[in-house]
Structure 1
């Protein structure tokens, strides 16, 4: 039985190594890009395999066990290089006052329990609400229940007749040029504490199909062009349908100089809610250097396949 288990684990470690390496070539294929999404899972599997093969080597002192151990350690180090910086929780227990808070949720277009969602929003009392996959029926419910608290906002058409929605307690101005140019994305400006703030709300296309993969990448490129022209404190909020380990995410961050608000607060994976072992962080809040994150946390579920986020931000002095 031990011999069979060793063979199965050796096959497992080779599979983890191959999957880890395939993620580097995500620029050439949407399927290869998906492999980069599971760096945390590869890291944890590699850690378990390393401990097993270390025990086998110390017990039997065989050259074969040493090779298997080195293979597992290679995978552990490779994925640890990407994952360990995101295991930083140094900001989680720091108490800093936010200038404003954003509640973001991809609510799932099939989710009909609208009151459940709006009750979650009421309990958080954010200054801004960001919703992805909103249907006309949900928008009608949102405005009828929270219209007095959040009288300002816009929504733009996204994929499959759903909408990206922003609602605000303070007046917002829509950049119509961006809204008409790019489906599923809008740029808003507003005033918070006497300072001009830019909010870019986006629901990037799911890169499962080739056409949607290309559209998602085009959305990232167009957002990068906007960011490079921005002079205001700026935040990007939404389901971007990629993880921090995607080559497209890395290129986007390198080009724009943005920061991910979850840095210092842990990985905080948001999708899928149905199966924790495969959960990955694809809902993001990104800011430029004129904003600082004071809090970043996953909120209670809304019967969606995504977990919502609540982010506290403040203007840098």
Structure 2
């Protein structure tokens, strides 16, 4: 038990320190993900030290102090995504259907064959927009019946797990498929016309994750997010950015994206809404996101039922309110944030 406690303490402290290092390599970025798991293990670890550690008193106090500091750090990082945190996005006070927009985001998992289950979940939630990710030609064929209810669509089926299908009941204005960073990783950029005739700007993304079997660095993911942040900042229309970002809500990169884009995260102050991994309850992270400009308020957000994918779909219902920007405040970048973002974007031209 003595050796186990020391090894566990060292590992937990190392995992936290590695996640603090702002390096793009996957061995650092992957430890951004299990922050809640590290917190729970750290609490267990400090209890083990208090009740079972039999080493020298100095070591006892040192381990207890370090793990307690680790708990404090992790707790501060996680609190904003619990009901105890401050809400970035406020609830609506009165429904205005003509200014509303509901969205379902679903990474279907390309090898998943339960397209009927996915279609049933879409029918059940009945969103205005549906974004399906990891969709290849088979998924495109098996979900074509969505055209009956969704008169507007942008389809980019690919066999590399980065295909995407966007279906909309609302008119899509000037839709475009762009490859911002990598030639085989698309994103969909389109205007969406609300029922009252107002145009909003939608960006649908699915950048690559920093994992050894796909991309050993987070560089390309970070570039795509920051390029989209620039587009959002420059847009004259209200903005919504949706997709599987392959990044957790509390990471430095996601926070940098929010600061540089001026967008808000509806999760903050409400909960994790973990979407991945659907089959491993103790290892779940919030990877699928909807970020919105300050002129939107929230009607509803929820995680939907899984239908064979490794991701849960997520559903969000929003409402445009012109006065919302006065009541809601985006995070501001400091000089260091701007320098980091500028450096990451400059790398695009040098790759």
Tell me, in whole angstroms, the C-alpha distance in 1 between the residues paired with 2:203 and 2:135: 17
Q: Is the alpha carbon distance of 1:252 and 1:135 closer, same or farther for their aligned partners in structure 2, counting shifts above 3 Å?
A: same
- Alignment counterpart, residue 200 of structure 1, candidates 200, 203, 221: 203
Corresponding residue for residue 164 of structure 2: 164
**SS of alignment partner, residue 218 of structure 2:** helix
**SS of alignment partner, residue 10 of structure 1:** helix
Tell me, in whole angstroms, the C-alpha distance in 2 between the residues paired with 1:159 and 1:89: 42
Tell me, in whole angstroms, the C-alpha distance in 1 between the residues paired with 2:20 and 2:281: 24
Contact 2:136 2:158 in 1 (8 A): no
Corresponding residue for residue 263 of structure 2: 258
Q: Is the alpha carbon distance of 1:150 and 1:212 closer, same or farther for their aligned partners in structure 2, counting shifts above 3 Å?
A: farther
Corresponding residue for residue 273 of structure 1: 278
Contact 1:101 1:126 in 2 (8 A): yes
Deviation of the 1:85 alpha carbon = 1.4
Corresponding residue for residue 119 of structure 2: 118
Corresponding residue for residue 15 of structure 2: 19
**SS of alignment partner, residue 243 of structure 1:** coil
Corresponding residue for residue 240 of structure 1: 245
Contact 1:26 1:246 in 2 (8 A): no
Asked if residue 36 in structure 1 is aligned to residue 36 in structure 2, the reply is no
TM (normalized to structure 1)? Answer: 0.89
Corresponding residue for residue 61 of structure 2: 66
Tell me, in whole angstroms, the C-alpha distance in 1 between the residues paired with 2:84 and 2:115: 33
Contact 2:26 2:216 in 1 (8 A): no
How many residues align structurally?
310
Tell me, in whole angstroms, the C-alpha distance in 2 between the residues paired with 1:251 and 1:95: 27
CA RMSD of aligned residues (A): 2.6
Once the two structures are overlaid, the 10-residue window that deviates more, 152-161 or 187-196, is 152-161
**SS of alignment partner, residue 191 of structure 2:** strand
**SS of alignment partner, residue 276 of structure 1:** coil
What does the per-residue CA deviation read over 1:139-170, in whole Å, with 9 as the maximum and x for residues that have no partner? 222222x2121111112366716421110111
Contact 2:204 2:242 in 1 (8 A): yes
**SS of alignment partner, residue 317 of structure 2:** strand
What does the per-residue CA deviation read over 1:176-196, in whole Å, with 9 as the maximum and x for residues that have no partner? 3x6255532111112113321
Tell me, in whole angstroms, the C-alpha distance in 2 between the residues paired with 1:173 and 1:220: 22
**SS of alignment partner, residue 271 of structure 1:** coil
How is 1:274-289 mapped onto 2 (pairs within 5 angstroms)? 274-289=279-294
Q: Is the alpha carbon distance of 1:278 and 1:232 closer, same or farther for their aligned partners in structure 2, counting shifts above 3 Å?
A: same
Q: Is the alpha carbon distance of 1:187 and 1:22 closer, same or farther for their aligned partners in structure 2, counting shifts above 3 Å?
A: same
Tell me, in whole angstroms, the C-alpha distance in 1 between the residues paired with 2:36 and 2:247: 14
Tell me, in whole angstroms, the C-alpha distance in 1 between the residues paired with 2:281 and 2:148: 37
Deviation of the 1:297 alpha carbon = 1.2
Once the two structures are overlaid, the 10-residue window that deviates more, 26-35 or 219-228, is 26-35
Q: Is the alpha carbon distance of 1:51 and 1:190 closer, same or farther for their aligned partners in structure 2, counting shifts above 3 Å?
A: same
Tell me, in whole angstroms, the C-alpha distance in 2 between the residues paired with 1:292 and 1:194: 18
Q: Is the alpha carbon distance of 1:109 and 1:60 closer, same or farther for their aligned partners in structure 2, counting shifts above 3 Å?
A: closer
Q: Relative to total residues, which structure has the larger helix share, 1 or 2?
A: 1
Q: Is the alpha carbon distance of 1:25 and 1:79 closer, same or farther for their aligned partners in structure 2, counting shifts above 3 Å?
A: same
**SS of alignment partner, residue 103 of structure 1:** strand
Contact 2:24 2:219 in 1 (8 A): no
Contact 1:217 1:248 in 2 (8 A): yes
Deviation of the 1:95 alpha carbon = 8.0
Deviation of the 1:265 alpha carbon = 2.1
Deviation of the 1:55 alpha carbon = 4.0
Deviation of the 1:51 alpha carbon = 3.0
